[in-house]
Amino acid sequence: MGIVWSQFFPPKPTLTEANLPSQKGKVFIVTGGYSGVGFELCKILYQAGGKVYLTGRSEEKALQAITDLKTGSPNSEGEIVFLPLELDDLTTIKPAVEKFTSVESRLDVLFNNAGVSNPPQGSVSPQGHELQLATNCLGPHLLTQLLLPTMKQTARNETQASVRVIWLSSIVVDASAPSNGVNLDDFLRRDAGMNRNYEHTKVGNWFLANDLAKKVGEDGILSVAVNPGNLKSNLTRHFPSWVPILVAPLLYHPQMGAYSELWAGFSPELTISDGGKYILPWGRLHPKPREDLLRAMRSKEESGTGDAALFIQYCNDKIEAFK
Cα separations (Å) of 319 from 89, 97, 274, 276, 313? 11, 14, 27, 21, 10
Residue 198 designated active-site: yes
Catalytic residue among 43, 51, 202, 318: 202
Catalytic residue among 35, 125, 169, 233: 169
Residue 259 designated active-site: no
Catalytic residue among 34, 53, 198, 278: 198
Residue 202 designated active-site: yes
One-letter amino acid at 192 equals: A
Spacing of C-alpha 197 from chain mean position: 17
Catalytic residues: 169, 198, 202
